[in-house]
Amino acid sequence: MATGDLATADMVLNIGPQHPATHGVLRLALTLDGERIVRADPVIGYMHRGAEKLFEVRDYRQILVLTNRHDWLSSFGNELGVVLAVERMLGMEVPVRAVWLRTLLAELNRVLNHLMFLGSYPIELGAITPIFYAFREREEIQAVMEEISGGRMHYMFNRVGGLKEDMPAGWPDRARAAVRRVRVRVRDDIDALVRGNEIFRARTRGVGVLSRELAEAFGVSGPIARASGLDVDLRRDEPYLAYADLPADVLRVVTRTEGDCLARFECLLDQVYVSLDIAEHCLDVLDSLPVGPINVRLPKVVKAPEGETYAWTENPLGINGYYLVSRGEKTPWRLKLRTASFNNVQVLAELLPGELLADMVAILGSMFFVVGDVDK
């Protein structure tokens, strides 16, 4: 507080909903005492599209279109949650080729997502260069994703029972080459440019420390939780797809204990290498698999039997879950969506008070969220 001889008044400062620092329409109502934040309220819902309600009037294939879009940076992971839930309800056996190809594409999608934040986070701290490198690498992988699925962001490639199509001839080699190029260039360019940079470290080290307890209390997940020492990764802890068959030296879980912005950024950066390793391993396995189908022939109308299930996956930004309740119709009776960004943003109310206003952008940016994923 101020010295006492001067009467001070708290100031309420609105960051957003239209503000370049919030990448999207998140609004932060900050109460300031001078330069210091005393209260922070994330105001969400400016981009609410009623995704859960829309799910209820669409069949499972049409739902995939929507799940592609609530977190537009992890479309493949989102599709995956829904199809896994429906397949579990139907007791459907997914062909082994589809399982490995899904794992591969999920990891490539994770790299794409992380590269976005690896580029945009330095921008928020005033470094413009890394985003160009990040986007060059994104382009590399997007080209690979476009060749197999036809889409660069909204893949629409999962189907209940497998994937839409198999890999085009020559694609595995092109994917492998892209993975190799990206790995080298992430290491030599983005990593070399940002990780050791004094200005970047000064802006992020010890800033916005998220304790493990707080992360647990708010249900924070993904790289942000792992940067606080919360060692949870569904790929290892509750394996879905082919993650259980990955050797432990391929599926490494990146953790940090510091919980500050730098730790969160480094978690993201190191996870890119892990994902690229997993992708390469999947490509090798896919090469060795025998001839087989990529999907299951479906009836004209896919109806999940009456019942309920909860399918959660380790999305690039954290735990993404779908609670599917079906009454045996072709549309779900209820499809509850648990998104990673929603929980990760809520913790800002605890994280920001006490910090300086100048650090606000650094902390906000390091929570790595997609507003569409927050507002659903």
Partner 1 sequence: MTQVPGKGLVHGLGVTLRTMTTRSVTQEYPHVRPDLPPRSRGVIALLEENCTVCMLCARECPDWCIYIDSHKETVPAREEGARPRTRNVLDRFAIDYSLCMYCGICIEVCPFDALFWSPEFEYAEHDLGFMTHERDRLREWMPTVPAPPADVLNAEPAKEVPS
Query: Which residues of this chain interact with partner 1, rule CB under 8 A?
Result: 58, 61-62, 64-66, 68-69, 97, 129, 133, 136, 139, 143, 146-151, 154, 156, 164-172, 188-189, 192-194, 196-201, 286-287, 289-294
Nearer of residues 43 and 96 to partner 1, judged by Cβ:
96
Nearer of residues 147 and 308 to partner 1, judged by Cβ:
147
Q: Which two tokens stand for residue 315?
A: 């999305």
Q: How far is the CB of 310 from partner 1 (least distance, A)?
A: 24
Q: Is 213 exposed, middle or buried (0-12, 13-18, 19+ CB in 10 A)?
A: exposed
Q: How far is the CB of 200 from partner 1 (least distance, A)?
A: 8
DSSP track, 23-79: SSS-EEEEEEETTEEEEEEEE--TT---HHHHHTTS-HHHHHHHHHHHSTTSHHHHH
Nearer of residues 34 and 150 to partner 1, judged by Cβ:
150
- The answer to whether residues 245 and 259 touch, using CB atoms and an 8 Å cutoff, is no
89: amino acid identity, one letter:
M
Q: How far is the CB of 294 from partner 1 (least distance, A)?
A: 7
Nearest to 327 by CA among 303, 310, 302, 311: 303
352 vs 319: CA distance, rounded Å: 23
SS3 156: coil
Q: How far is the CB of 366 from partner 1 (least distance, A)?
A: 19
Nearer of residues 35 and 188 to partner 1, judged by Cβ:
188
Nearer of residues 5 and 198 to partner 1, judged by Cβ:
198
Q: How far is the CB of 127 from partner 1 (least distance, A)?
A: 9
Residue 327 is given by DSSP the state -
Q: How far is the CB of 322 from partner 1 (least distance, A)?
A: 17
Q: How far is the CB of 156 from partner 1 (least distance, A)?
A: 5
CB atoms within 10 A of CB 362: 24
Q: Is 346 exposed, middle or buried (0-12, 13-18, 19+ CB in 10 A)?
A: middle
Nearer of residues 8 and 62 to partner 1, judged by Cβ:
62
Which residue's structure tokens are 């109308």?
301
Nearer of residues 131 and 364 to partner 1, judged by Cβ:
131
